[in-house]
Structure 1
Amino acid sequence: MGTAEQRKAPERSVAERSAERRGREAPDRDVPAQRRAGAGAGSERSADHRPLWVEEPARRYRMPDPVRTAAVRAVLIISVTLIQAMVAFLCTMAESWLAFPMVISSVVSTVVATWAVVDVWVTRQVWKQRYGVVSEPSSTARSLRRERRAQRRQERATSREQARIRRRGGAGQLSHP
């Protein structure tokens, strides 16, 4: 199976597939489904059985690609910084010669990690400003714009009507000017 087939969304949800599979298989692998159904109490329990989970649509939208890229970069930098800080601490406790270079590199990494977090914030704000702004003008501006649009529409309809009359050669006019 190629990557295109692997990435294709399934036609059925996971809950539907697991419910279908649950109907075919017995929960106890060694007990056949026919004997289980005839057990009496077991069949009543399976009637009101709820699935373990129900898929729900995501409440939040996916982050935009540039913001997600910056966030992944920030997480990687922060994790490396934390590892460096831990190594610096352990080297200091062991009184190793590597303690001083590790402390210096941890300080530098902390500055870089702060910059990465600020980069995520700035990238998110820039993306929102370019693509995510929902313009909601005041009701007064909206009504004025609506009136201007109606007036322009009326003018265009009148000019189209006049052009159609001229193309006909004056047909449809009651009197000649």
Structure 2
Amino acid sequence: MGTAERRKAPEESVAERSAERWRHQAPDRDIPVRERAGESAGGQQELYHRPLWVEEPARRRRMPDPVRTAAVRAVLIIAVTLIQAMVAFLCTLAGSWLAFPMVISSVASTVVATWSVVDVWVTRQVWSQRYGVVSEPSSTARSLRRERRARRRQERTALREQERIRRRGGTGQLSHP
């Protein structure tokens, strides 16, 4: 069965697809669904339940802990900076004495926010260099290792050949020194 048969038709709505998925999933024990109730063999009414959520595999890998920590810190600093900038703008419009200190602190916060974003980038690069082994066939490191191995193999073959010539007592050489 191909993808087209499984999904039925491309013009089918998302709601119809999710309703169809509901009918074929394992029941959840906590939430009753009235329209799917049926009679069991003992004459009692058996309830089927729908799950609260459906587990789907992640599309991207999880960020490493140091990078995620730096990113959360950067988001918080940027949020505070935006709030400060908004307060500075509103104080300026209102003609408040607080406008000048808020503008100065907003400028300082902008510098700190920029630094925090750079920190996320640097942390990510450092983590990738330390722990991120690229294992793709097009990896530079892998091609360099492959070249080194081939060169060593050629050197070993040449040394074996020289040893074999020496063991034979020079036979096989075209001229003797």
TM-score (norm: length of structure 1) = 0.55
Q: 1:1-177 alignment to 2 at 5 Å?
A: 19-21=26-28, 26-28=32-34, 33-34=37-38, 54-134=54-134, 135-138=141-144, 139-145=146-152, 147=153
Q: CA deviation at 1:142?
A: 3.9
Q: 1:112 to 1:51 in 2, by over 3 A?
A: same
Stretch moving more, 51-60 or 61-70: 51-60
Aligned residues, how many? 118
Residue pair 1:74, 1:116 contacting (<8 A) in 2 also: yes
Q: CA deviation at 1:124?
A: 0.5
Higher strand share: 2
Deviations 1:39-72 (A, max 9, x none): xxxxxxxxxxx98964222132111111111111
What is the percent sequence identity of the aligned residues? 72
Report SS of the residue matched to 1:97: coil
Q: Letter of the aligned partner of 2:92 in structure 1? A: T
Residue pair 2:28, 2:51 contacting (<8 A) in 1 also: no
**Aligned CA-pair RMSD:** 3.4
Q: Letter of the aligned partner of 1:101 in structure 2? A: P
Q: 1:113 to 1:32 in 2, by over 3 A?
A: closer
Distance 1:140 1:32 in 2: 65
Report SS of the residue matched to 1:112: helix
Residue pair 2:85, 2:103 contacting (<8 A) in 1 also: yes
Q: CA deviation at 1:26?
A: 4.6
Residue pair 1:25, 1:33 contacting (<8 A) in 2 also: no
Distance 1:32 1:128 in 2: 51
Deviations 1:68-109 (A, max 9, x none): 111111011000000000110111111100001000100000
